[in-house]
Structure 1
Amino acid sequence: MQDSFDVTTIVFLALAVFVIWRLRSVLGQKTGHERPPIDPFTRRETADPARPGANGADNVVRLPSAGIDRPAAPPASTPPADRWAGVAEPNSAVARGLDEIAKAEPDFDARGFVEGAKAAYEMIVTAFAQGDRETLKNLLSRDVFDGFERAIADRESRGEKAETTFVSIDKAELVSVETRNRVAQVSVRFLSKLITATRDASGKVIDGNPETVVDVTDVWTFARTLGSRDPNWQLVATEAGQ
């Protein structure tokens, strides 16, 4: 991605054991028209005052009914091979990874996760361009936030401003799903169209083009401890995709 959007070139290898996605929401669908950032956290079912982030500023990709602990119910029958249709190919590594998550949390909604991830992607990209540290702090793990904050501070020290406009998110697909020591890590490849530009202190465009739509590919990784009372997924890594 261009310098005006260098957030996607930063790779964060540290995985917080305390995990989120809303990066999605995260993880909304795009129509190709500019509009305000989407709040990916509206998928929550009920607010629990005792839960961190219950004041509405949490970074949440809600798994259906994931806010309470419950023993995993034994499967009544072998899940169908196409249970992840539209998200993963039958018997693929991604499908097997989703099966592992579903064993720990039978209510896991892979399609909802992808939609949430798309919303989180837009929100985080927009917040980074605007230098909105408060929004980023609520969406990122500490290590990832520190990296984003340094990039924003460097840009501000030069008197530069980044401009990013979403045109569309054309595709969001799961490319890797792994579970280690009860921590699930889900990587999502985003294919999007953006308008990006960086201006110097005088307002002159020094990178990008405010009139040109560019194709962007990014891979973001979200993680969460399965079985945790915390339904949040955290963004733990970003990289420019191929």
Structure 2
Amino acid sequence: MHTGFPVDIVLLALVAGFLVLRLRSVLGRRTGYERPPMPEPTAAGGMQRPGGPVIEGVAEPPRSTRPVPAPHTVVGQTLARIAQAERGFDPARFLDGAEASFRRIVLAFAAGDLAALRPLLTPGVFATFEQAVAQRAEAGETQHTEIVRIVEATIDEAELLGGEAVIVVRFVSDQQNYTRDRQGQVIAGTEAMTEIVDLWSFEKSLGAADPTWRLAAARSG
């Protein structure tokens, strides 16, 4: 199982200052997008795009798992408190929306569609994506991404931080990701299907009129 994120690997700094402190208990010290199609800053300021292991054998039938944490667990109890503060919140419906956002964000990043990305990301994450898209365009590279199926989407962690809620979702997906240079040569990723594991943190101000849970950080699973 590959533990990257299937587009260029993006290291995302947590949203400046207090967001770093607020999310550290949920995400730990290591944050960022880790997948072939997303850009990851290297020590020299460049981008690296590692590939992932290929899924071998015949295609498996579609499968999808989206279990909700049991009410007696720590995560389940936190979700219950979020539901008390956020009218209409339901973990199962949240996972529906998180999976839809996952698909839109991954594909919009590959396409360089900043207009589609902006409402789905926190400002700090959007700035990172915007820079990555600009660098890819300047290099004359094109990204191909196809989400073949999402195998699993589960809530790993949940946190209430004042009036903010953070929910960490683990996505296991089968994807096809590769990058071509100006000459059309594949320079990163693979045309074969790869299994990817990602941990995405979604954030929302509870009680706000805007119902959107925005992507605040991500890391490999």
Q: How does the TM-score come out when normalised to structure 2? A: 0.72
SS of the counterpart of 2:12?
coil
Counterpart in the other structure of 2:89:
108
SS of the counterpart of 2:8?
helix
Task: Indicate the structure with greater strand content.
Answer: 2
| 2:5/2:198 contact within 8 Å kept | no
Counterpart in the other structure of 2:183:
202
Tell me: CA distance 1:233–1:4, structure 2 relative to 1, closer, same or farther (3 Å). Answer: closer
Counterpart in the other structure of 1:235:
215
Give 5+ residue unaligned stretches, structure 1.
17-30, 33-84
Q: 2:75 aligns with which of 63, 70, 94?
A: 94
- Report the alpha carbon displacement of residue 3 of structure 1 after superposing the two structures with TM: 8.8
1:142-221 equivalent positions in 2, closer than 5 A:
142-210=123-191, 212-221=192-201
Q: 1:123 aligns with which of 100, 104, 114?
A: 104
Q: Following superposition, which runs of at least 4 residues in structure 1 exceed 2 angstroms of deviation?
A: 1-4, 9-12
CA RMSD of aligned residues (A): 2.2
Counterpart in the other structure of 1:12:
13
Higher relative contact order (CA 8 A, sep 6+): 1
- Report the alpha carbon displacement of residue 148 of structure 1 after superposing the two structures with TM: 0.6
The percent of aligned pairs where both chains have the same amino acid is 37
Aligned residue pair count? 173
Tell me: CA distance 1:4–1:113, structure 2 relative to 1, closer, same or farther (3 Å). Answer: closer
Output one character per residue of 1:16-60: Cα deviation in whole Å (capped at 9) or x when no partner: 9xxxxxxxxxxxxxx85xxxxxxxxxxxxxxxxxxxxxxxxxxxx
Structure 2 Cα separation of the partners of residues 196 and 137 of structure 1: 22
SS of the counterpart of 1:213?
strand
Counterpart in the other structure of 1:36:
none
| 1:13/1:237 contact within 8 Å kept | yes
Structure 1 Cα separation of the partners of residues 5 and 184 of structure 2: 16
The 10-residue stretch of structure 1 (141-150 or 102-111) with the greater mean CA deviation from structure 2:
102-111
| 1:168/1:193 contact within 8 Å kept | yes
Structure 1 Cα separation of the partners of residues 107 and 197 of structure 2: 16
Give 5+ residue unaligned stretches, structure 2.
21-60
Output one character per residue of 1:80-135: Cα deviation in whole Å (capped at 9) or x when no partner: xxxxx940034212101101102213531110000110011011000001111111
Counterpart in the other structure of 2:204:
224
Output one character per residue of 1:152-173: Cα deviation in whole Å (capped at 9) or x when no partner: 1122221111100110000000
SS of the counterpart of 1:165?
strand
